[in-house]
């Protein structure tokens, strides 16, 4: 049982390049989330998904797109990377949408945009 | 609306001393509260959570937190710090509703340093 995995672990991009971050979970969780973590700002939600085929915007969605074609996978895309998108990106999942449900986090992807 | 304030972005304690990490919340509805820990180069993992049952919540690794509604606080404590407790700790809040997506708001984190 691998939990939540993220690919890649680290990436360097040039401004304007595109890339896709992959998140996979093997816990049959319904909900999945993408966060970014920046110093002094905690975690901020980019997008989330309440089930296969559905996505919704979080608090900082601009410049990102997501897809959830399969229940176990949640992809985060950067169409045209900008230096402001330099961050650590975390994927998380939770089993049900109930308020007390724990979120399980992946190990993170460090992205540097030059 | 909801928010979380973590007092002190960095806290240093000696090994064996009391650990106290402060968290105050604001919520327009009864909240559910969480503490997560992040070790270097890892994702967050749940330490403990308050879900309107007992106000004193015990978590993993000897940590506990007490929900105090009158003070809108959910401070994290551990009687005796261990070197392995060095990490960053995040307090989080979400509305105490069931069903449907409920936004989780995270604090900015407190880095705990344990001095030998």
> Measured between CB atoms, which of A44, A45, A99 is closest to B96?
A99
Query: Pick from A92, A102, A106: which is nearest to B49 by CB?
Result: A102
Contact residues, chain A, for B32 at CB < 8 Å: 99-100
Mutate to test the interface with A, among B99, B101, B102, B105 (most CBs of A within 10 A): B101
Q: Could you tell me if A31 lies within 8 Å of chain B, comparing CB atoms? A: yes
Three-class DSSP category at B52? coil
Q: Is the Cβ pair B108, A42 closer than 8 Å?
A: yes
Give the residue-averaged pLDDT of B81-106.
88
Tokens for A104, please give them.
């399980």
- Is there a contact between B96 and A4 if contact means CB atoms under 8 Å apart? no
CB contact under 8 A, A97 and B100: yes
% of chain B beyond a pLDDT of 90: 77
User: What pLDDT sits at residue B75?
Assistant: 97
pLDDT band at B30 (very low <50, low <70, confident <90, very high): confident
Residue B59: pLDDT over 60: yes
Other CB atoms closer than 10 Å to residue A34's CB: what's the count? 28
Q: Is B41's pLDDT higher than 90?
A: no
What pLDDT shows up at residue A97? 58
d(CA B91, CA A107): 19
Residue range A30-56, pLDDT digits in tens: 999 999 999 888 899 999 999 999 999
On the question of a cis peptide bond just before residue A8, with omega within 30 degrees of 0, the verdict is yes
Contact residues, chain A, for B45 at CB < 8 Å: 104-105
């Amino acid at each position: 049982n691998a939990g939540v995995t993220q690919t890649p672990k680290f990436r360097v991009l040039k401004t304007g390049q595109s890339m896709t971050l992959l998140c996979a979970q093997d816990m049959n969780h319904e909900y999945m989330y993408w966060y970014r973590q920046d110093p002094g700002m905690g975690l901020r939600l980019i997008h989330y998904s309440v089930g296969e085929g559905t996505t919704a915007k979080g608090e900082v969605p601009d410049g990102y797109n997501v897809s959830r074609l399969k229940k176990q996978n949640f992809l985060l895309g950067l169409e045209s990377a900008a230096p402001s998108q330099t961050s650590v990106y975390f994927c998380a999942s939770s089993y049900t949408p109930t308020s007390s449900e724990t979120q399980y986090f992946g190990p993170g992807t460090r992205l540097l945009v030059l | 609306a909801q928010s979380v304030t973590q007092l002190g972005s960095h806290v240093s304690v000696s090994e064996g001393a009391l650990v106290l990490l402060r968290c105050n919340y604001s919520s327009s509805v009864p909240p559910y509260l969480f503490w997560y820990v992040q070790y270097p180069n890892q994702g967050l993992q749940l330490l403990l959570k308050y879900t309107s049952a007992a106000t004193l919540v015990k978590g993993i690794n000897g940590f506990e937190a007490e929900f105090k509604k009158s003070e809108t606080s959910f401070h994290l404590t551990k009687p005796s710090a261990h070197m392995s407790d060095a990490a960053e700790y995040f307090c989080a809040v979400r509305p105490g509703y069931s069903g449907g997506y409920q936004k989780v708001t995270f604090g900015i984190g407190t880095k705990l340093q344990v001095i030998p």
